[in-house]
């Protein structure tokens, strides 16, 4: 029997979110694969395939070491998925259409924030301050409600100065009156 080990940063979080990978796991198990989910790099079992699925923008070094332990590790080369590096929609001064402001960090930077907030005392202070400051200062877009502007000149100067943000072309796909999300 083929064993697939899926390594996540939080098993409960992974199982409770509608990740596409959860659908794949269901199908793999139906066809006879054994799928084991771990949120630790300790005591990992032998496996034919390992899938790294951590909600972080930058893959920590210990995960990158898995390629020494396993022959097939999926996502091992996805070490930096920051918008500034991977986005094909970043704008320059010549762009004239609508734009969307996103965080450089994946998913609004929430995974990285949770890690920062776990640091004793300082984490509590950071969390307290971040909740009271404006998003253009903190670099946190709450609920991933990315702001959309008609044009570049409507984007506040604070956003351009804050390296936490990336301004991209807004390419909207509509479903009736709402935007579609894939």
User: Is residue 179's pLDDT more than 80?
Assistant: no
* pLDDT tens-place string over residues 33-87: 999 999 999 999 999 999 999 989 999 999 999 989 999 999 999 999 999 999 9
Q: 173 versus 11: which is more confidently predicted? A: 11
Q: Could you tell me if 83 and 168 are in contact, meaning their C-beta atoms sit under 8 angstroms apart?
A: yes
* pLDDT tens-place string over residues 131-142: 888 888 888 887
Q: Could you tell me if 55 and 75 are in contact, meaning their C-beta atoms sit under 8 angstroms apart?
A: no
Instruction: Name the residue among 105, 95, 91, 85 with its Cα closest to residue 146.
Output: 105
* pLDDT tens-place string over residues 78-131: 999 999 999 999 998 899 999 999 999 988 888 888 888 888 888 888 888 888
At 116 the pLDDT is 82
For β-strands 73-74 and 49-53, DSSP reports them as parallel
Q: 33 versus 10: which is more confidently predicted? A: 33
Q: What percent of the chain has pLDDT over 90?
A: 64
At 181 the pLDDT is 67
What's the rounded mean pLDDT across residues 138-153?
Answer: 86
The dihedral sign for the CA sequence 182, 111, 49, 32: negative
At 142 the pLDDT is 75
The helix or strand, by DSSP H or E, that contains position 22, with its residue range, turns out to be helix 20-30
3-state secondary structure of 12: helix
At 2 the pLDDT is 94
Burial of 3 (0-12, 13-18, 19+ CB in 10 A): middle
At 101 the pLDDT is 95
What's the rounded mean pLDDT across residues 162-173?
Answer: 92
d(CA 108, CA 55): 11
β-partners of residue 51 are: 6, 74
């Amino acid at each position: 029997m083929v064993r697939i080990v899926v390594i996540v940063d939080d098993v409960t979080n992974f199982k409770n979110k509608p990740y596409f990978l959860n659908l794949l796991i269901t199908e793999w198990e139906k066809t006879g694969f054994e799928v084991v989910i771990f949120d630790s790099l300790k005591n990992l079992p032998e496996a034919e395939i390992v899938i790294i699925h951590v909600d972080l923008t930058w893959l920590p070094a210990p995960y990158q070491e898995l390629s020494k332990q396993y022959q097939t590790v999926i996502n091992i080369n996805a070490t930096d998925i920051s918008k500034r590096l991977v986005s094909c929609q970043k704008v320059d001064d010549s762009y004239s259409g609508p734009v969307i402001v996103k965080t450089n960090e994946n998913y609004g930077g929430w995974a990285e924030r949770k890690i920062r907030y776990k640091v004793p005392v300082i984490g509590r202070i950071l969390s307290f301050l971040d909740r009271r400051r404006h998003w253009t200062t903190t670099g946190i877009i709450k609920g991933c409600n990315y702001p959309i502007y008609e044009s570049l000149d409507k984007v506040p100067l604070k956003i351009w100065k804050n390296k936490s943000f990336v301004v991209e072309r807004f390419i909207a796909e509509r479903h009736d009156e709402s935007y579609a999300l894939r």
